[in-house]
Structure 1
Amino acid sequence: MHSSTSTLASLALLITGALSNPPNSYHFNPLEHLAGVTPPFDPLDPPLDPAPPRGCNVTRAAILSRHSSIKANEFDWENFIHPFVQKLSQNPVDWSKIPTLSFLATWKPPRGLHEKGALSLDGKSEATRLGVDVSQRYQKLRVPPKIWTAGATRVVESAHSFAMGMADNPRDIKVVELYEGKQDAANSLTPYKGCPRYKAGAGNERASVRSPPHAAAAGRLTDSIQVFRKLYTAAPIARFSNVAPAFNFTPADIYGMSLLCGYETVLRGSSPFCDLELLTPDEWLGFEYNNDISYYYSTGYGSPVAGAVGFPYVQATFNRLMAKQDKNSNATADQDLFVSFTHRQMPPTVFVAMGLYNNSAFSGTNDIHSSMPLDRINHRRAWKSSHIIPFLTNLAIERMECDCFAYQPGTYYRALVNNSPQPMDGCSSGPGESCPENELPGWLAGRAKVVGSYGAMCATNYPNSTDTLSIFDQ
């Protein structure tokens, strides 16, 4: 009798546990799947502990950050958002009678949306918050007397906002603006602009790099992106056309609505275009993947020059972190922290140079592009643009002094992207999958061989071209 009672009690507990997570507990946030329009967030990909491993202390660090949230990207505005808004204002559809789309009856574009490329108020706050976070994370490191930024206004303003959060007196930090020249080669925070063979735009149809080998039948990459966009937008177009046939919804309209979710949220704090009654989670994942393949083939592993474009930053950063340092000196070369701000195109090239977010590292395949098909979504991919290039995406490279169990006391290095440690493939045998200093030179030489030199890969034919980034030495 006692046994029977215990069995029934156990079954009751199992049933209760099974029902504690009913099907409607599913949660999906479109704002975490907006590719380059994603607000700053920490995706915890992978979910490794961002704190230094036990027994380790960070003694120097470098941070490369994209600018923070802007009001609208110029290409997005001119090719998707403005045409959709204009079409909406000129169409006689009575939206008030269509439940899912009824908000369009009174919706107006947020003020400032047309100010293409301008840093938003939220963007300034986000960059200041990052400065505070960095200051708190590296409390034992000195405030840097100098930080660097690409010359565009939104990037410069992000750097100044960061300085406000980093230092008690932001005037203690000199913000050095670097010209975004087309003949500055590798000695720039926009080295892709000096690379004739780098043909990426802003992660969209402007990308015109060579089509990947397995997409030859699809023609140019632009065509492949548009083909996939037609695939993922087919369902919402059919759904909306059923209730509002006069509007003649197109793939560009659906894409523009998705962009508005992000940009309107930046300006108003929320957007009806983010409603899951409008676009389903599957459709948002289609939008994300459409951007993933674009960035992958324009500024990621699918580009033959991306790694070469990003490697000078990698080499310069590790050279500076490994160098002997005078802690009593305020010279640039002796700073504890090296902080730089740039555009969305730069971080992915650095990730490629370091071998991060590379599915093929574990597959043994010779086809590095096999993880990014152009006709369907690979939900297990490593390359997710929402994780790689959200607004204010940042790469931290840390030098650590460690004395912990199971490891030799000494110096180790690790990389974190958006607060998530990223093991450096081929050099991760240290605490917290960090890279031992004695293995780092060999790893760097190996990566340099894999990606090639800037001058050779980019075919720079202008005078004074260089393969070296030297801003941290001056």
Structure 2
Amino acid sequence: MFTLLWATLSSITTLAPSTPFFPPPNESSFVAHDHLAIQKSWGVYSPFHAIENYTPPPPGCEVTQVNILHRHGARLPSDSQTNDILPGVQKLQSVPVYTDSRLDFLKAFDYTLDQELLVPLGAIQSFGSGKTAFGRYASLISEGEPPFVRASGMSRVVESANNWTAGFAAASRGIYTPRLDVILSEEGNDTLQDHNCPNAAGSHREMREWLSIWSPSIVARLNAWAPGANLVEEDIHGLAMLCAFHTVSLVQYGYEDGSPLPFSPFCSLFTSDEFEAFEYSCDIDKYYSTGYGGRLGRVQGVGYVNELLARLTHTPVQDHTSTNRTLDADPATFPLNRTVYADFTHDSVLIAVFNTLGLYPTPKLSTKRPDPKRKWRAGEMMSFSTRMVVEKLVCEHRFSSQEDYIRIMVNEDVQPLEFCGAPIKGLGWAQEYARNNGEGDWEKCFVE
């Protein structure tokens, strides 16, 4: 099997009691926003940003295979998110006179956001990712061995995959034109969506606990700015989401990836500290759904991990969880001889895969007091267009001719892999859990 490369396990720290979370804001708290910093604090709604610069393989190592697990690009809110957003907007717009000019834009504001759809920024993100993949891994590609690309069936995921292949083709000046090879229906078994486990946990209770801590001061402030609006705590999370969704909807083609975005006026209603609190609500959401704190979260990443192991070892998929066994048994729809694979998916699936692999180990996440030293940060691990890249490398070794390694990067950040047993040969505990089909957890998804 594989030795796991460059591993150091981060220590877990706890937060000592400190001063109150949210001191009363002053005017500069609103005006002096660092736009690039703020847009990184929108959690799973943050635009893509690399956490580190890409680190090339060390001397003596050569990449021989790449697996990319890729979240779709920036999108518009879902139906349920729209239902969270609209009440706060409507309450604010019902007020005849505002006491603060930051709300004046609402007099002419018309909520026109559609639902679920990819926005131009999302297309730009995936196109740029495809260009980056070609620039980095062009040596692995030939006309007879193009990237193999799959996508879960939702439109924004399919479009992200097609934009990635277009970026790859553009970077190659049309020499290589990869296609979307397989679209997995979200109505059945699909390792690239997270609807296969009916008994899986939700995170509503935990998010509500945190909302009761970070939102009351904002409720009081906005109700003072808009007398009679009668906002409640639940409205605040929706308004903060709208800052992110409205902002990404304003970006048009021609935007340079990584530049500051044209901010929505809704962003001016919150301070930097409050955006950090909003990001923490995203941390909690993912942690207590398919992350380490979620019942049956880990098993939802097993199917993809078993597909990944099959590719790395060039052996048939061994899995009895969320895989489509008909497609995975067919070399036309699940080849084992490619050098570049790209799979397009949703954020919750990526979190489940991190959980299965043991990335970002976090035994506990408080719903009342954030640890400022925590590794579990949604804005870094799960922005729009996040990608986990698994590189298989062949490295020269002083005691043998060659040896296989893997390394995993999330948004260019190389992950510590000591938990999998490096440098001991054989399957680590994360792989054993996947090979054993979740050790009984998959059956719990369906027990009444």
The aligned residue for residue 110 of structure 2 is: 108
Q: How high is the TM-score relative to the length of structure 2? A: 0.77
Match in the other structure for 1:30: 38
Task: Render the CA deviation track for 1:408-453: whole Å, top value 9, x for unaligned.
Answer: 8421101111111112232475xxxxxx5x6252455444469535
1:267-301: CA deviation from partner (whole Å, max 9, x where unpaired): 113234464x5311221111111121121111101
Write out per-residue CA displacement over residues 44-74 of structure 1, whole angstroms, 9 at most, x where no aligned residue. Answer: 3xx8x53222322211011111111112222
C-alpha change, 1:101 and 1:146, in structure 2 (3 Å) is same
Partner SS for 2:73? coil
CA separation in 2, counterparts of 1:296 and 1:403? 39
Q: What is the DSSP-based 3-state SS (H/G/I as helix, E as strand, rest coil) of the residue aligned with 1:349? A: helix
Which of 381, 390, 393 does residue 400 from structure 1 map onto?
Answer: 393
Residues 1:443 and 1:406: Cα distance change in structure 2 (over 3 Å) = farther
Task: Please say if residues 181 and 194 of structure 1, whose CA atoms lie closer than 8 Å, have aligned partners that are also in contact.
Answer: no
Contact 1:308 1:457 in 2 (8 A): no
8 Å CA contact 1:32–1:386 kept in 2: the answer is yes
Matches of 1:250 and 1:406 in 2, distance apart? 66
1:423 aligns with 2:428: no
Name the larger-Rg structure. Answer: 1
Q: Which one-letter code corresponds to 2:39 in the other structure?
A: L
What is the CA–CA distance in structure 1 between the aligned matches of 2:398 and 2:39, rounded to whole Å?
41
Question: Which among 79, 98, 101 is matched to residue 99 of structure 1?
Answer: 101
| Greater CA drift, 333-342 or 309-318 | 309-318
1:350 corresponds in structure 2 to 353
Q: Aligned letter for 2:220?
A: A
2:328 corresponds to which residue?
none
Q: Does 1:411 align with 2:414?
A: no
Coordinate RMSD, CA, aligned: 3.0
- 1:179 maps to a residue whose letter is S
d(CA) in 2 for partners of 1:194, 1:401 = 36
Question: Are residue 439 (structure 1) and residue 439 (structure 2) matched?
Answer: no
Match in the other structure for 2:185: 179
2:51 paired residue among 19, 22, 43: 43
Q: What residue number does 1:155 align with?
A: 157
Aligned match for 1:307, one of 291, 298, 320? 298
**Secondary structure of residue in 1 paired with 2:353:** helix
How far 1:405 moved relative to its partner?
Answer: 7.8
Q: CA deviation at 1:77?
A: 0.8
Task: Note if contact 1:56-1:400 (Cα within 8 Å) is conserved in structure 2.
Answer: yes
SS in 1 for 2:419: coil
Relative distance call for 1:247 and 1:388 in structure 2 (3 A) is same
Ranked by relative contact order (alpha carbons within 8 Å, sequence separation 6 or more), the top structure is 2
TM-score, normalization: structure 1? 0.73
Residue 308 of structure 2 is aligned to residue 293 of structure 1: no
Distance 1:225 1:444, change over 3 A: closer
Partner deviation per Cα, 1:332-374 (whole Å, 9 max, x = no partner): 2211111111122100000000000113xxxxxxxx32xx111
**Structure 1 counterpart of 2:321:** none
Q: Deviations over 1:348-404 (max 9, x none)?
A: 000000000113xxxxxxxx32xx111222222221112222111111111011237
8 A Cα contact 1:400 1:411, kept in partner = yes
Question: Counterparts in 2 of 1:24-423, with a 5 A limit?
Answer: 27=34, 29-44=37-52, 50-78=55-83, 80-89=84-93, 91-95=94-98, 98-109=100-111, 111=112, 113=113, 115-142=114-141, 144-167=146-169, 168=174, 172-182=178-188, 184=189, 188-190=191-193, 192-199=194-201, 207=202, 221-269=203-251, 270-273=262-265, 275=267, 278-323=269-314, 332-359=335-362, 368-369=363-364, 372-403=365-396, 409-423=402-416
* Structure with a larger share of its residues in helix: 1
For 1:419 and 1:171, locate their aligned partners in 2 and report how far apart those are by CA, in whole Å. 25
Displacement of 1:227 in angstroms is 2.9
3-state SS of the aligned residue for 1:332? coil
Q: What secondary structure sits across from 1:246 in the alignment?
A: coil
Q: Using a 3 Å threshold, how does the CA distance of structure 1 residues 238 and 73 change in structure 2: closer, same or farther? A: same
Contact 2:71 2:346 in 1 (8 A): yes
Structure 1 pair 55/353, CA: closer, same or farther in 2 (3 Å)? same
Aligned-residue offset at 1:93: 3.0
Partner Cα distance (1:27, 1:92) in 2: 30
Amino acid at match of 1:72: P
In the superposition, relative to structure 1, how do residues 421 and 241 fare at CA in structure 2: closer, same or farther (>3 Å)? same
Aligned residue pairs, count = 384
Structure 1 unmatched runs, 5+: 1-23, 200-206, 208-220, 360-367, 430-435, 462-474
User: Structure 2 vs 1, CA of residues 338 and 459 (structure 1 numbering), >3 Å: closer, same or farther?
Assistant: same
Contact kept in structure 2, 1:54 and 1:404, CA below 8 Å: no
Report the residue type matching 1:265 in the other structure.
Answer: T
Alpha-carbon offset, residue 230 of structure 1: 2.3
TM superposition shift of 1:41: 1.2
